[in-house]
């Protein structure tokens, strides 16, 4: 992943995780993700190392400016010359003329960049345009090199063309089939999962296991050779026996999508009332396509007057128990159900820090409540971390309590 703005921390890399996930899905074993700046010496070294793999994918550095050097250095590393592709030059020129006219600038300002972007290593094939930068694929010394634009939207638009190219499909045909199982737990610690795996024999060459903790979710990926699935099956069985009650998914769907699937299956609408998370629960829920079918809305009630005025939390409850309490969380959820007309409402209130702690109420104390017509369920927890982590983890707890309540709620039974 090239670009000095990535190395300096000015932007986060969105391309590496996307490409890695796509390649794993296709059966590849990912060696590494490298983020490198635009300096020729650094980029030259990264390309030389990448060309030792079966497939190397590069993003960025395909533009018209002096520091866009990916194809130039890729050509040099493979002993090829750059040659202008006349068809590509016309195509890029057409796009650039439209941009020039829109900006009210002469096409001459763009012409040099057009020629530069249309210059490909000998033997390379264009994957088409997404903007003015082409994607490029070619094979050299047994390695398939794929160069894609840096902007994530452009890269994702051209990626399907890359995996459909003849060179890439030739590599795909050589991949040995592997079984992949996904187990996701909410509740057990990462060390407890690691202990069970170790006691069950641990991973071996034919059974690879990865364990990743994300906001108290534990994601376990089990990979096994197509002809030797027994070791992976034994590890999976050990995890199910120990943590079966905490297993909530066997796929990669995010928890918010699982919540919506459960709600839709039961014909239920959802609403939220948030204090310490400031709308993060609603943001996660509305990130799911089609959320409007089920999610009616949310109220961010940060101050006590808003809790009373919009959610109807009794002043007596706030005075007696405080804004961060089980009683207030329950009243917030009940108020959201009434105010928004939802079947099920979830609330959260807590102390995200770094200040705000009082005797008996430390930073990280969070109350979550889910209310249905048939009653409610509540969770009290003390979350570790700084303000950002506490808010993120509180959001995860809300979504998982929603999942738990909806899982045990039959169709139209609330």
Residue 201: pLDDT band (50, 70, 90) is: confident
Compute the mean pLDDT over every residue in the chain, rounded to the nearest whole number: 93
Q: How far apart are CA 210 and CA 229, in angstroms?
A: 16
Mean pLDDT of 326-346: 98
The residues near 278 (Cβ < 8 Å, ≥ 6 apart) are 300, 302, 391
Mean pLDDT of 350-373: 96
Q: How far apart are CA 42 and CA 230, in angstroms?
A: 44
pLDDT at 336 over 50: yes
The residues near 207 (Cβ < 8 Å, ≥ 6 apart) are 222, 223, 224, 225, 228, 231, 232, 235
pLDDT at 411 over 50: no
> Helices marked H in 3-151 — which ranges?
4-7, 15-25, 40-50, 70-77, 86-103, 108-117
Residue 313: the pLDDT is 98
The residues near 310 (Cβ < 8 Å, ≥ 6 apart) are 299, 301, 335, 339
Residue 177: pLDDT band (50, 70, 90) is: confident
pLDDT at 132 over 60: yes
| CB of 351 closer than 8 Å to CB of 361 | yes
Nearest CA-CA partner of 184 in 257, 124, 240, 119: 240
Q: What is the pLDDT of residues 98-110, one digit of tens each?
A: 999 999 999 999 9
> Helices marked H in 51-85 — which ranges?
70-77
User: Per the omega criterion (within 30 degrees of 0), is the bond before 337 cis?
Assistant: no
Phi–psi pair at 303, nearest 5 degrees: -95, 160
For 245, which DSSP code?
Answer: G
Residue 29: the pLDDT is 86
Q: What is the pLDDT of residues 28-83, one digit of tens each?
A: 989 899 999 999 999 999 999 999 999 999 999 999 998 899 999 999 999 999 99
Tokens found for residue 251: 């796929």
Residue 166: the pLDDT is 95
pLDDT at 412 over 50: no
For 291, which DSSP code?
Answer: G
Can you say how many angstroms the Cα of residue 193 is from the centroid of all Cα atoms in its chain?
A: 23
Residue 414: pLDDT band (50, 70, 90) is: very low
Q: Other C-beta atoms within 10 Å of 194: how many?
A: 15
- Assign 229 to helix, strand or coil: coil
Mean pLDDT of 182-188: 95
Nearest CA-CA partner of 74 in 4, 142, 138, 149: 138
- Assign 392 to helix, strand or coil: helix
Q: How far apart are CA 249 and CA 373, in angstroms?
A: 26
On the 0-12 / 13-18 / 19+ scale of CB atoms within 10 A, 62 is buried
Nearest CA-CA partner of 232 in 176, 179, 175: 179
Q: What is the pLDDT of residues 224-263, one digit of tens each?
A: 876 667 888 899 999 999 999 999 999 989 999 999 999 9
The three-point CA angle 244-287-341 to 5° equals 90
pLDDT at 140 over 70: yes
Residue 205: the pLDDT is 67
Q: What is the pLDDT of residues 261-295, one digit of tens each?
A: 999 999 999 999 999 999 999 999 999 999 999 99
């Amino acid at each position: 992943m090239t670009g000095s703005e990535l190395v300096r921390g000015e932007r986060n890399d969105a391309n590496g995780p996307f490409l890695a996930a796509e390649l794993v899905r296709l059966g590849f074993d990912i060696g590494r993700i490298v983020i490198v700046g635009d300096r020729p010496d650094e980029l030259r070294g990264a390309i030389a190392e990448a060309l030792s793999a079966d497939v190397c994918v590069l993003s960025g550095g395909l533009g018209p400016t002096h520091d866009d050097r990916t194809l130039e250095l890729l050509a040099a590393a493979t002993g090829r010359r750059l040659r202008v592709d006349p068809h590509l030059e016309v195509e890029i020129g057409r796009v650039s003329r439209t941009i020039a006219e829109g900006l009210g600038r002469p096409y001459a300002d763009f012409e040099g960049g057009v020629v530069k972007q249309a210059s490909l290593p000998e033997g390379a094939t264009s994957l088409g345009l997404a903007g003015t930068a082409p994607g490029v694929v070619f094979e050299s010394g047994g390695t398939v090199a794929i160069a894609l634009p840096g902007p994530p939207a452009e890269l994702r638009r051209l990626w399907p063309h890359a995996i459909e190219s003849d060179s890439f499909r030739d590599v795909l045909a050589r991949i040995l089939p592997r079984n992949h199982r996904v187990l996701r737990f909410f509740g057990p610690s990462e060390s407890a999962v690691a202990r069970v795996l170790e006691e069950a024999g641990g991973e071996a060459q034919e059974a690879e296991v990865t364990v990743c903790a994300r906001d108290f979710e534990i994601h376990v990926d089990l990979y096994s050779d197509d002809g030797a699935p027994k070791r992976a099956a034994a590890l999976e069985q050990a995890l199910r026996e120990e943590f079966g009650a905490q297993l909530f998914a066997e796929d990669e769907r995010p928890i918010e999508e699982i919540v919506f699937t459960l709600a839709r299956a039961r014909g239920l609408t959802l609403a939220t009332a948030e204090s310490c998370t400031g709308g993060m629960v609603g943001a996660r829920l509305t990130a799911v396509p089609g959320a409007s079918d089920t999610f009616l809305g949310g109220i961010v009630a940060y101050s006590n007057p808003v809790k009373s005025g919009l959610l109807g939390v009794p002043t007596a409850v706030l005075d007696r128990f405080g804004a961060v309490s089980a009683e207030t969380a329950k009243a917030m959820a009940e108020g959201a159900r009434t105010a928004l007309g939802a079947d099920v409402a979830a609330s959260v209130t807590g102390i995200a820090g770094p200040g705000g702690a009082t005797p008996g109420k430390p930073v990280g104390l969070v109350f979550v409540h889910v209310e249905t017509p048939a009653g409610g369920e509540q969770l009290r927890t003390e979350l570790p971390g700084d303000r950002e982590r506490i808010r993120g983890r509180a959001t995860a707890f809300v979504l998982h309590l929603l999942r738990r309540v909806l899982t045990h709620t039959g169709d139209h039974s609330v």
